[in-house]
Amino acid sequence: MLRLAAIQLKTSLNKHLNITRAQDLIREAAKNGSSLIILPECFNSPYGNKYFPEYAEPIPDGPTCQSLSSVAKELSVHIIGGSIPERDKDGKLYNTCTVWSPDGAILAKHRKIHLFDIDLPGVFKFQESETLSPGNSLTTFNLPNWGRIGLGICYDVRFPELAMSYSDMDCRLLVYPGAFSMATGPVSWELLGRARAADNQLFVAMVSPARDTESDYVSWGHSMVVGPDGQILSDCKDNETIIYTELNMELLDSYRNSVPVRKQKRWDLYNNSYKETQ
């Protein structure tokens, strides 16, 4: 059994305070028995193109990563560090998630693959590509005595091919730190999380920042964890909070055996149909 904590953190303009608050909530989650603790997208920074260059830092040597490394070692827990704006040695910016082991070592780094470039006329427009570059690799890591975990960030959840690829890599849990907007969240947040879980018969964690109606970008909130049958195991509203979930591997294996769609796929037909449309 794995006890997971998803921290719906309220971020501010003060980077130091964001990091300190994240550490405090990580300690609270560990005190309550969680061994895997997840932060939201852009937890050390306001979300926005004008903020990414200002708050960006190198990985793993920047102050945010150093704080995550330190608290992971202090508490002997695994931490999925939501995401932060990353600046590489060539000056490129990425939206990047890091994973930390109980001894404070970095286990994985996922750069957001699909950039959030959308335009809902008269409603909402955002273009991450104005400042950020996309990542070019899938990212997984192994949690000892539990299984493999796949990483995505926010807009990555809209692409079922990514989740399916992780499923083929035998991931048991997909983690998506994400800051859906007030335009997209009510329509898509729950739908996409439950769909990715049900399609691939695995656990999905969607971890949002808390809603701040005074910020430039207002996040939807509603962090949640979904089971392999698509049912919500735990969730919250839009306030700063921590949600806890027990992930039972026996439940996952039992459901996969009862509804064995993973063994019943007709790739002989799907692949041919796909080729015929090209």
User: What are 237-243's contacts with CB under 8 Å, separation 24+?
Assistant: 238/210, 238/211, 239/8, 239/10, 239/210, 239/211, 240/8, 240/9, 240/10, 240/210, 241/8, 241/210, 242/5, 242/6, 242/7, 242/8, 242/25, 242/28, 242/29, 242/32, 243/5, 243/6, 243/8
Q: What sign results for the dihedral spanned by CA atoms 73, 79, 84, 90?
A: positive
- Is 237 known to be catalytic? no
The one catalytic residue among 10, 15, 41, 57: 41
- Is 128 known to be catalytic? no
The one catalytic residue among 112, 128, 171, 190: 112
- Is 112 known to be catalytic? yes
The one catalytic residue among 42, 65, 97, 154: 154
Classify strands 124-127 and 139-143 as parallel, antiparallel or unpaired: unpaired
Q: State the catalytic residues.
A: 41, 112, 154
